[in-house]
Amino acid sequence: MTSTATRPRGARARAAIAAKTLRTDRWWFAPLITVIGLSAWVAYATVRVFMHKWYWVDQYHYLTPFYSPCVTDRCVEGAAHFGRFLPGWWIIPDAALTLPFLLLFRLTCYYYRKAYYRSFWLSPPACAVPDKHDSYSGETRFPLLGQNLHRYFFYAAAIISLINTWDAVLAFHSPEGFGFGLGNIVLLVNVVMLWAYTISCHSCRHIIGGRLKHFSKHPVRYKAWTGVSWLNVRHMQLAWITLGTLALTDFYVMAVAAGWFNDLRFIN
Ligand code: FES
C-alpha cells in the first residue's frame, strides 16, 4: 500500500484488490506502440544527425530539417544560410543551434509528457492500472520542474518553424532559376505540418486567448483562439504526423543527395 507521505495530497489508498488491474481490454497496446514508435524515431534521428552527409541537394537547394540551419564549418556553402561559426567536431550536430531547442520543445510538450510518462515510466501505464512506482511527486521537483519551461521553448520552436519555412521557399530553385519538383511538395507539407503542430501547442493557445476576462472585447483574439483550439484538440495526431513528415522529408533529401533516386521534376 502507498504510504501517506508519498501519496498525492487528497488521494486515497488503493482499494484492496488482489488483481493488478481489473481492465480486460488491451490497455498495454498504446504504451507499447508508443515505446516502439518513439524509440525508432529517436534511433533514426540520432543516426542521421551524426552522419554529417547527404543533407543538401545543391542542384535544387533542398536542405533537410535535421540540418537546418547548418552552422558548423563542415557545412557546404550553399546549406549554410546563417554562417558557419561552430567547429565541425563530429559530436556537434550541424544544426546545433536549433536541435537542442526542438528536442526540449518536444520533450516538454504536454502530449509527449503523457506519452512517455505512461509508456517509458509506466507512471501509470494506463487509466485504472497501478503506477509502477511507490512514490509520486508530480512535476514539483527537479528535473521534472523544468517541464514548466515549455512555454519558452514554444517561442524558440516558432522561430525555427520560420527558418524551415525559409528553407522551403529557397528550395524553389533549379540550375536555370525557378524550379518545382516532388521535393518541394515534401518540404512544403512538412513545413505546413510543423506549423500546425507548433500552433496547436497548449502554450500557444494560452498566449493567444489566455488571461482575458471578456472574449467579446477581443474579437480578433477570440477568432484566433477558436482556430488554435480546433488544432489543439488534434495535438496528439499532429505530434505523430510531424515525426513522420520530419523523418520522411529527411529521408527524401538524403536519398536524392546520395543519388539513390532522382527528384521528380515538374518545372525545370
Ligand atoms: S503542448 Fe505540445 S508542443 Fe506545446
Looking at ligand 1, which residue's alpha carbon is closest to its atom 2? Answer: 109
Identify the band that residue 79 occupies on the pLDDT scale cut at 50, 70 and 90: very high
HEC string of the chain equals CCCCCCCCCCCCCCCCCCCCCCCCCCCCHHHHHHHHHHHHHHHHHHHHHCCCCCCEECCCCEECHHHCCCCECCCCHHHCCCCCCECCCCCCCCCCCCHHHHHHHHHCCHHHHHHHHHHCCCCCCCCCCCCCCCCCCCCCCCCHHHHHHHHHHHHHHHHHHHHHHHHHHHCCCECCECCEEHHHHHHHHHHHHHHHHHHCCHHHHHHHHCCCCCHHHCHHHHHHHHHHHHHHCCHHHHHHHHHHHHHHHHHHHHHHHHCCCCCCEEEC
User: Cβ < 6 Å from ligand 1: which residues?
Assistant: 109-111, 150, 154, 201-203, 235
Q: How far is CA 70 from CA 3, 82, 122, 236, 242, in A?
A: 52, 7, 37, 29, 21
- Whether 11 shows a pLDDT value over 70: the answer reads no
| pLDDT number for residue 19 | 84
Return the ligand 1 atom nearest residue 198 CA. Answer: 3
Ligand 1: nearest atom to the Cα of 197: 3
In this prediction, residue 20 carries a pLDDT of 84
Tell whether the model's pLDDT for residue 7 goes beyond 50: yes
Phi and psi at residue 163, to the nearest 5°: -65, -45
Provide the percentage of residues in the chain whose pLDDT is more than 90. Answer: 85
With contact defined as beta carbons under 8 Å apart, do 82 and 71 qualify? yes
Nearest-atom number in ligand 1 for the CA of 106 is: 3
As a whole number, mean pLDDT of residues 161-182 equals 96
Note the pLDDT of residue 2.
41
Ligand 1 centroid from CA 51, angstroms: 28
Give the residue, by CA position, lying nearest to ligand 1 atom 4. 201
230 Cα: distance to centroid of ligand 1 (angstroms): 14
Query: What average pLDDT does range 202-209 have in this prediction?
Result: 96
pLDDT tens for 102-141 read 999 999 999 999 999 999 999 999 999 988 888 888 888 9
